[in-house]
Amino acid sequence: MSRKAVSMRKARDILRLRYGVGLGVRQIARSLGISHGTVVNYLRRAERAGVGWPVGPEVDDGELEALLLSSGKSSGEARRWLPPMEDLHKELRGRGRKGVTLRLLWEEYRAEYPGGYGYTQFCEYYRRFVSTLEPALRQAYKAGEKLFVDWAGERVPVIDAATGEIRGAHLFVAALGASSYSYAEAFENTQLPSWLDGHMHAWEFYDGVARITVPDNEKTAVTRACRYEPEIHRTYGEMAEHYGTVIIPARPREPRDKAKVEAAVQHVERRILAALRHQTFFSLAELNRAIARLLTDLNSRPFQKMPGSRRDLFEELDRPALLPLPAHRYEMGIWREAKANIDYHVQVDWHSYSVPYQLANQAVDVRLAARTVEIFHKGRRVALHQRSHKPGGHTTDPRHRPKSHQRHLEWTPGRLVRWSVKEVGPQCGKVVATLLKNKPHPEQGYRACLGIMRLGRHYGRERLEAACRRALALDVCTYRSIRSILATKSEGLPLPAAGETQGPRIDHENVRGRDYYMPAAG
């Protein structure tokens, strides 16, 4: 083996042990059996030549020797032409085109300059350039691909002008991946409505939507954090679907996943919050106007180690690649799990809404919006109602009733009273009228009246009429009371005399009354 081959093998070993393994200079010298000065000499030559590790297979010993030996010459003689690294960095971050890689750029470079650098040195020069950038700019994000969102840790005091109370406003921050173009807005709290509004306002600020939205593992975003299968809040996921983006939360305990927004938060705190620290604000609107002015300055500020600004990169990279905004804003809906009752109504926020009667006793999902209530069964919407805030009320779609109930509803209260008088008698008619008047929901009254009429089939019309007379006298016009009177055969007992004090009447389903225990007359 030639001395030259041995020398280049040593050179490769020095680069591997230094940059691949991370050994010190003296450790490398002892390991390879060479002097400390030789190791230092090779490393200096490699640094000047831009040679790192690994050295690609396309760099043979001859080219490696030429690089290392030429590095001792003047920079003008040794250094070959390279394209501007800023242009390479922009190419890799997209400009709306997919599939651009560093190898492709190198192949184009060598096709135009056959005597240019090899792939390994080309990559080394690019890595050195990237290492000089701000940490948030180092990752090669594709144009229009990702939007990073988070809450800033620092809060801004806002004084209530009426009470003098001081409240801390929370700052929502968003940043696009390719350009770092930032958005910030203050909210009263970090609850779900504020979280969703922050996203919608940011997308409107950008006049477009990124394909991927990357939040931290906030409770308003992720209901169950997991490195591999995080569970997204249902309302948050629904909003993302409306805007055509995908929610991919940052992995727990992986700060690089959210480095972009953390850098944006840091810039917002330094350039905006710090500048506002001596000002006093009496409303969120006043605070947000001040934030908007400083945000314009932040996005227009030139980069320190790259040409242009966030706004310039946004116009060049992100804006052309963003998805269009939808035709209308997302209307927030709160999801609830519920169960349809036997009367095919679902109670939500103390109001009952109907579903098709076939779903009685089945589990459903309810979406509450500001003006509407949607009910879903197994992912299919089965009911849509206008939202009502009347406690204890009922909202019923006639199409949800079974045919038998629809026929019952053909009966008006007046017709039902006339029918009861005709079929049983005037006392029964008075009971029906009283019962319909006292029931909170018409259908409940209809069912009770039909139940009383059915008692006549079992006990006879005369006994039912007498029981209704007694129920009217005792002011107990309910289906259960009349059934109790008939069951105990107490409809024939003497009625209380006019003006006789009965004491306060207690109406309760568990109180049977004296008629239940008094034996029937012989």
Instruction: Output the pLDDT for position 6.
Output: 46
Average pLDDT over residues 364-369: 88
Share of the chain above pLDDT 90, in %: 16
Which has more pLDDT, 143 or 304? 143
Reported as a single tens digit per residue, the pLDDT across 143-187 is 888 899 988 888 899 998 888 889 999 999 999 988 889 999 999
- What's the domain count of the chain? 4
Instruction: Output the pLDDT for position 226.
Output: 64
The overall average pLDDT reported for the chain is 80
Strand bridging mode 166-176 / 351-354: unpaired
Query: Band of the pLDDT at 209, cuts 50, 70, 90?
Result: very high
| Domain shared by 161 and 265, yes or no | yes
Task: Say if 32 falls within a structural domain.
Answer: yes
Q: What DSSP assignment string belongs to 272-301? A: IITTTTT---SSHHHHHHHHHHHHHHHHHS
Kindly calculate the radius of gyration of the chain based on its CA atoms and give it in whole angstroms.
40
Which of 79, 102, 136 is the last residue in one of the domains? 79
Instruction: Output the pLDDT for position 360.
Output: 84
The pair of structure tokens assigned to 354 is: 């109907």
Reported as a single tens digit per residue, the pLDDT across 250-285 is 876 665 556 666 778 888 888 888 888 889 999 999
| Domain shared by 375 and 436, yes or no | no
| Sequence-ordered list of residues with C-beta below 8 angstroms from that of 4, at least 6 positions apart, any chain | 61, 65
Task: Say if 522 falls within a structural domain.
Answer: no
Query: Band of the pLDDT at 204, cuts 50, 70, 90?
Result: very high
Phi/psi for 412 (5° steps) reads -85, 160
Instruction: Output the pLDDT for position 205.
Output: 95
Between CA 319 and CA 3 the distance in angstroms is 58
| Domain shared by 166 and 74, yes or no | no
Reported as a single tens digit per residue, the pLDDT across 330-344 is 888 888 888 888 778
Between CA 445 and CA 74 the distance in angstroms is 103
The CA-based angle 393-398-404, given to 5 degrees, is 110
Residue type, 53: W
Residue 201 CB neighbour total at 10 angstroms? 17
Between CA 308 and CA 303 the distance in angstroms is 6
Reported as a single tens digit per residue, the pLDDT across 378-432 is 888 899 898 888 888 888 888 888 876 655 555 667 777 887 888 888 988 888 8
Instruction: Output the pLDDT for position 378.
Output: 84
Does the pLDDT value for residue 463 go beyond 70?
yes
Instruction: Output the pLDDT for position 5.
Output: 45
Burial per residue of 440-477, b for 16 or more beta-carbon CB atoms within 10 angstroms, e otherwise: eebbebbebbeebbebbeebeeebbbbbbbbbbebebb
Reported as a single tens digit per residue, the pLDDT across 100-109 is 778 888 888 8
Most confident of 258-262, 351-355, 513-517: 351-355
CATH number, domain containing residue 152? 3.30.420.10
Residue type, 117: Y
Instruction: Output the pLDDT for position 410.
Output: 58
Strand bridging mode 372-377 / 334-339: unpaired
Helix (H) / strand (E) containing 19: none
Task: Say if 487 falls within a structural domain.
Answer: yes
Domain hosting residue 361, numbered range? 334-401
Task: Say if 108 falls within a structural domain.
Answer: no
| Domain shared by 299 and 350, yes or no | no
Beta bridge partners of 363: 339
Instruction: Output the pLDDT for position 478.
Output: 86
Does the pLDDT value for residue 118 go beyond 60?
yes
CB 12 within 8 A of CB 6: no
Is the peptide bond preceding residue 57 cis, with omega within 30 degrees of 0?
no
| Domain shared by 285 and 157, yes or no | yes
Task: Say if 74 falls within a structural domain.
Answer: yes
Q: Which of 237, 298, 241 is nearest to 273 (CA)?
A: 298
Which has more pLDDT, 434 or 132? 434
Task: Say if 491 falls within a structural domain.
Answer: yes
Which has more pLDDT, 21 or 291? 291
